[in-house]
Chain A
Amino acid sequence: MNIEELREHLCSRYPLLCPLFSSEFGDGTLTVEPDDLHRAAGDMKELGFSRLDVVTALDRGETFELVYRLESAEIRTGLSLRCSVPRDQPRISSLFDLWPAADWQEREVYDLFGIEFEGHPDLRRILLPDDWVGHLLRKDYVDDRVVKRPDYI
């Protein structure tokens, strides 16, 4: 199945999701509201996306953009599920119950971005020590110990 076929397939089964689908740079992309994420992910799993490839986030200022990339041996094209959560209330439901692979990946996003995953069984920091202050990959993270890189270019 290529991206176009995936789009048609999605549109026939989930007409509500269809307008949210786009494809750029290779992968299909589906942008949903945070409240719908878990349901949409469940639908995608039913559709045949048996693997959760990667969970990551981007700091977009007022919001954090979450990216979940799904893949499947049958469909053979990737799909990224995206949603934005507000910076002052970064919460989203965990996908651990659908794909256990989310366990460490969500812990990493929690550690580095401070996004809370509701329903995650063991949400603790994973890479940094528990007493670390702040979240490293937020754009407003400052650490006095970091040596400023000279601006050569």
Chain B
Amino acid sequence: MAVDIESRTPVEDAEGRTVEELVVNIGPSHPSTHGVCRIIAHIDGEIVTRAEPVIGYLHRGIEKMCENRTYLQIVPLTDRLDYVGSMYANWAYCRAVERLASIRVPERAEYIRVITCELQRIASHMMAIGSSGADTGAFTMFVWAFDVRERVVELFEELCGARLTYSYVRPGGVARDLPDGWTDACRAVVDRLPAKIEEMDRLFFGNTIARGRLKGVGVLSADDAVAWGASGPTARGSGVDWDLRRDDPYSVYPRFDFDIPLGDAGDAYDRGRCRLWEAVESCRIITQALDQIEPGPVHAEGFPRLLAPRQGDAYDRIESARGTLGVFVASDGSTRPYRVKFRSPAFCNLALIGRLAPGHTISDLVVILGSLDPVFGEVDR
């Protein structure tokens, strides 16, 4: 966590005089860092020569806390990882536990999981795009995106009572069945969304100012994205055609027809636009899932009150809004896990910032950070 703020390299200014680099501390608590992230930026004039993220300000030791709780008590902790996409961490954790304990999940529960997680993807991407708008001065985009997000969050509120920390996906299924009339409300939201998103695309990504601010900023090559472990829209913006929903299908995803939006330039513009169009694809998946879902149980039968999986370990991952979210659970045969590890996509994507920022201005640094869409609950765990 410590950083070197003393070492200043001498640089030459426009008139040939030798001057020192300026070291600017951004954060840890700053509106443009999207959470508690500190960035030490070495600048020459206005150009960043080196940027080093300092993380850990939100480290709560969740992986350690997991070792002291029973398997079901961990579900609320997973909510607190990625707090704008709690459903994903719930689901990834449950999948790892189900794999370890060989639990079969009823089909209706799988459909509900897909529907809620695709809604979550819309909500999470709207947060990312909205705050990208706010970063670049397009405040209208922020308000529009949060309006869409609000519709989704209202659906979640009706579903489980919570707006952020759902704990809805549980090992063995989901907490409760869909309330009466929920599918109609969901369909109404999802039907209206694609038109709205197209309008947002024109409003923001078609806007000259936004294009000027986002295009060519923070260019990530496809090879770098793979080598540095980037995933999700961050990698797909660079043209890396890799989405676990299609390439390593889990749950009932093989039954749906959907496309994976890809970028080619790998800049902040393509990453943002990938997110926006992924929301449209999510609408397609939700519509198909609502058509296919059938009545039935939503929780595995004969599920023990106290889970004690056999000795061993299991890893499972899902495609979250930020990328590959993996959970590694090791059991020693007792009622508490021996070790739980969360492979956080935000953590892996954020590691790129030191590579992407040099050569850009400070105001572009903010755009690059926003385009990686980090959520610090998940980065720091």
Contact = CB atoms under 8 A, between A and B. Distances in A.
Secondary structure call for the B interface: mixed
Interface stretch (A3-11, A13-21, A98-106): A98-106
Give 6 nearest A-B pairs by CB, closest first. A101-B229, A130-B2, A127-B56, A54-B343, A25-B314, A104-B351
Contacts of A137: 63-64, 339
Contact of B324 (A53, A59, A127): A53
Given A24-B312, A136-B64, A127 B229 contact: no
Secondary structure call for the A interface: loop
Contacts of B343: 53-54, 56, 69
A50 B231 CA distance: 13
Given A126-B1, A129-B2, 20 more contacts: A26-B316, A54-B315, A54-B326, A54-B328, A54-B343, A58-B338, A58-B339, A59-B339, A76-B247, A80-B315, A100-B227, A101-B229, A104-B347, A104-B351, A127-B381, A128-B1, A128-B56, A130-B2, A153-B70, A153-B306
Interface of B: 1-2, 55-56, 59, 61, 63-64, 68-70, 99-100, 226-229, 241-242, 247-248, 306, 312-317, 324, 326, 328, 330, 335, 338-339, 341, 343, 347-348, 350-351, 380-381
A120 interface: no
B71 to A, nearest CB: 11
B315 A99 contact: no
A125 interface: yes
A53 B326 contact: yes
Nearest to A69: B315
B242 A78 contact: no
B341 A54 contact: yes
Nearest to B240: A73
Contact of A67 (B61, B247, B328): B328
A125 B68 CA distance: 24
A30 to B, nearest CB: 14
Contacts of A58: 313, 330, 338-339
20 contacts: A25-B312, A25-B313, A25-B314, A54-B326, A54-B328, A69-B315, A69-B328, A76-B248, A80-B315, A99-B229, A100-B228, A101-B229, A101-B351, A104-B347, A126-B55, A129-B1, A129-B56, A130-B2, A137-B64, A153-B335
A51 B335 contact: no
B324 A73 contact: no
B56 A126 contact: yes
A42 B227 CA distance: 14
B348 A101 contact: yes
A58 B331 CA distance: 11
B55 A52 contact: no
Contact of B247 (A52, A73, A126, A130): A73
A53 to B, nearest CB: 6
Contacts of B330: 58
A78 B347 contact: no
Interface string A62-104: 0000010100010010101000000000000000000111011
B229 A53 contact: yes
A56 B68 contact: no
A105 B69 CA distance: 25
